[in-house]
């Protein structure tokens, strides 16, 4: 029987425990959309996690959707992230980077030359984003042409290569939370015809081509992926999530990925949305690699879930924001710090690097 505190090898990455820091958007990038010194300190403080999944980072200038999120496409960004990975490794931790394209969840003011966001569709999301002017409705997107998809896949490939150059142990492809890849996956958004629209196989094609490119570039043992079958966030659910995500996991299974990361229920909300049953265990049975679950785990639920073999890894989000030494607090069953919810997005050290660890 494994416990949450036991080491585990996932693909090419050896973890000291199964307590994972979930990817968390904090909007504190500095000039050039670079991870700055505060971000180095923030991740260094959390290096006792079995694995840190560093925050969603845009793979290109067109992939950004919120103010002050970091990128992984420029030399300055690689150099900034190198400071982070060096600090985490020096503290004995492991860290991968989440690769992000927001698709239609963006605003022209955030994009090069005021461009329209790109998506699977030209329909506008019913969603807000955060810009220099505050919270505003997202802009109307332009549907990507099929002949633009190879360039998009190259952006993912280059971002993965850049992440390795920046010293990351690997990458997680962000295919969750209704951003670009999920805008292709779901029939509630994807209204295309042609090779990337219509059937489940066609809607899943972009994700699978991205995974193919990224694993070719850096190795499957350094690659993970995140899915959120039942999250609504900025788009309705697919008409048949069980069939869609079942197909995806069946196609991901032979790739030899380091892990698959699944958000249960509504991201950041309820684990059990009413009337929306989903059989996550069926996906787990179909996937041979390490299985990571996330969303609202208490200490008890995390311990039980790993002990019962329902997951290999548990990702914690908000608990890791408030409590840099979360691993120790869980091990010693000590209370966590209180989260300052008004300091989640943007700002400086307050609510970022000033949460205390337990004294020795
Ligand atoms: C909160 C605010 C902005 C972005 C996600 C990357 O939900 C995000 C995100 C979360 O995956």
pLDDT digits (tens), the chain, 360 positions: 779 999 999 999 999 999 999 999 999 999 999 999 999 999 999 999 999 999 999 999 999 999 999 999 999 999 999 999 999 999 999 999 999 999 999 999 999 999 999 999 999 999 999 999 999 999 999 999 999 999 999 999 999 999 999 999 999 999 999 999 999 999 999 999 999 999 999 999 999 999 999 999 999 999 999 999 999 999 999 999 999 999 999 999 999 999 999 999 999 999 999 999 999 999 999 999 999 999 999 999 999 999 999 999 999 999 999 999 999 999 999 999 999 999 999 999 999 999 999 998
In 3D, which of 303, 293, 232 has the Cα closest to residue 260?
A: 293
Cβ 45 under 6 angstroms from ligand 1: no
89-101 per-position pLDDT tens digit: 999 999 999 999 9
User: What fold does the segment set 8-343 form as a domain?
Assistant: TIM Barrel (3.20.20)
Q: Where are the domains of the chain?
A: 8-343
Q: Which atom of ligand 1 sits closest to the CA of residue 98?
A: 6
In 3D, which of 163, 295, 276, 164 has the Cα closest to residue 227?
A: 295
Active centre residues (catalytic):
179
Q: What is the DSSP string of 161-173?
A: HHHHHTT-SEEEE
In 3-state terms, what secondary structure has residue 215? helix
Q: What is the DSSP string of 250-301?
A: HHHGGG--SEEEEE-SSTTS-SS-TT----HHHHHHH--SEEEEESS--HHH
Residue of 103, 130, 177 best suited for mutating to test ligand 1, as the one with most atoms within 8 Å of CB: 177
Could you tell me the end-to-end alpha-carbon distance of the chain, in angstroms, rounded to an integer?
Answer: 30
Cβ 25 under 6 angstroms from ligand 1: yes
249-297 per-position pLDDT tens digit: 999 999 999 999 999 999 999 999 999 999 999 999 999 999 999 999 9
In 3D, which of 57, 60, 64 has the Cα closest to residue 25?
A: 57
Q: Is the pTM of this model over 0.75?
A: yes
């Amino acid at each position: 029987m494994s416990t949450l505190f036991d080491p585990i090898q996932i693909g090419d990455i050896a973890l000291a425990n199964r307590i994972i820091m979930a990817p968390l958007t904090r909007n504190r990038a500095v000039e050039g959309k670079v991870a700055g010194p505060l971000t180095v300190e923030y991740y260094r403080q959390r290096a006792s996690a079995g694995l840190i999944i560093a925050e969603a980072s845009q793979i290109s200038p067109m992939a950004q959707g919120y103010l002050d999120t970091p990128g992984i496409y420029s030399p300055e960004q690689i150099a900034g992230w190198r400071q982070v990975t060096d600090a985490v490794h020096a503290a004995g931790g492991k860290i991968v980077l989440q690769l992000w394209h927001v698709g239609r969840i963006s605003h022209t003011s955030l994009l090069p030359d005021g461009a329209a966001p790109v998506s699977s569709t030209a329909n506008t999301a019913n969603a807000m984003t955060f810009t220099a002017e505050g919270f505003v409705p997202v802009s109307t997107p332009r549907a990507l042409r099929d002949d633009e998809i190879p360039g998009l896949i190259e952006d993912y490939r280059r971002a993965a290569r850049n992440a390795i150059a920046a010293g990351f142990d690997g990458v997680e492809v962000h295919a969750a939370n209704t951003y670009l890849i999920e805008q292709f996956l779901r029939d509630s958004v994807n209204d295309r015809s042609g090779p990337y629209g219509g059937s489940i196989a066609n809607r899943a094609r972009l994700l699978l081509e991205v995974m193919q490119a990224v694993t070719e570039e850096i190795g499957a043992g350094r690659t993970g992926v995140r899915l959120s079958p039942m999250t609504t966030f900025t788009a309705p659910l697919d008409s048949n999530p069980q069939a869609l995500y079942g197909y995806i996991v069946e196609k991901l299974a032979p790739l030899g990925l380091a892990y698959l990361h699944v958000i249960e229920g509504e991201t950041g909300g309820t684990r059990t949305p009413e009337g929306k049953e989903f059989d996550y265990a069926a996906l787990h049975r179909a996937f041979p690699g390490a299985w990571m679950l996330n969303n609202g785990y208490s200490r008890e639920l995390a311990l039980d879930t790993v002990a019962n073999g329902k997951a290999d890894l548990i990702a914690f989000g908000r608990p890791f924001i408030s409590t840099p030494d979360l691993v120790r607090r869980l091990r010693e069953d000590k209370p966590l710090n209180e989260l300052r919810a008004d300091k989640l997005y943007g700002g400086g050290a307050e609510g970022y690097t000033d949460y205390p660890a337990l004294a020795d």
